[in-house]
Homo-oligomer: A and B are copies of this chain.
Amino acid sequence: MKLNDRGLLIVISGPSGVGKGTVRKALFDMPKHNLTYSVSMTTRGIRQGEENGKDYYFVSKEEFEKRISEGKFLEYAEFVGNYYGTPLDKVNEQLDSGKEVVLEIEVEGALQVKKKVPDCVMIFLVPPSKDDLYKRLRSRGTESEEIIEKRVEKANREFKKAKYYDYIVVNDDVFNAADRILAIIRAEHARTKRSIHKYYELIGEDIEE
């Protein structure tokens, strides 16, 4: 029996190149979860193997900026000349239906989400070492040296943002990282601040007492 029925908004973030996407995929491959993710919107070009509406919603810069001005994003960020954002309406629907919504987003966006939804669960994914991260950034091999350098600089700034998160999870092993995130989700449902209202209902006590 769970004392908190509403879904949690789980923000998975961390420095550029830490492997957020891989961990998110491993998380969704775990058995018996109730997770869903919010598909982000972007203005960057579609890559080989990607699908519109599944990997991202791919839209034009004009369309994206129109949506910004209409307040339709939970968060958005510009990165290497492109926008990335999380559509707000879908997220609330999913939370209300009891699903845990996982956002896998950049650090800048994550901090915006925390401001808008203070009771979200902020998870900062980190590499086992800085060198490990630099190696990952270089081995991706799909980007120019200039873009790699930008990512390295960005990662170095992002390392310092860990303190704004609720949890720090090391991505030394994708399965372990995903499994620890599932434990965090289970634990968060039991946290007193989330469960005490239903608890008072259950035992018929007045919460004001």
A-side residues, CB < 8 A to B, are 1-3, 124, 126, 128-130, 159-160, 162-163, 165-170, 172, 176, 180, 182-184, 186-188, 190-192, 195-196, 199, 202-205, 209
CA distance A191 to B168 in the complex (A): 6
Query: Could you tell me if B180 and A192 are in contact, using CB atoms closer than 8 angstroms?
Result: no
Asked if A170 and B203 make an inter-chain contact with CB atoms under 8 angstroms apart, the answer reads no
Q: A168-B199, A180-B186, A186-B180 are in contact. Are A192 and B126 (CB under 8 A)?
A: no
Q: Are B126 and A199 in contact (CB under 8 A)?
A: yes
**Distance (Å) between the CB of A14 and the closest chain B CB?**
11
Residue numbers in B under 8 Å from A205 (CB-CB): 159-160
B1, A162: Cβ atoms closer than 8 Å: no
* Further 15 A-B residue pairs, CB within 8 A, beyond A126-B202, A168-B190: A1-B128, A128-B202, A129-B202, A162-B196, A162-B199, A163-B192, A166-B191, A167-B192, A168-B192, A168-B199, A169-B190, A180-B187, A180-B190, A183-B187, A184-B187
Chain B residues with CB below 8 A from A202, complex form: 126, 128-129
Report B-chain residues with C-beta under 8 Å of the C-beta of A196.
162-163, 168
Q: Which residues of B contact A168 (CB under 8 A)?
A: 3, 190, 192, 195-196, 199
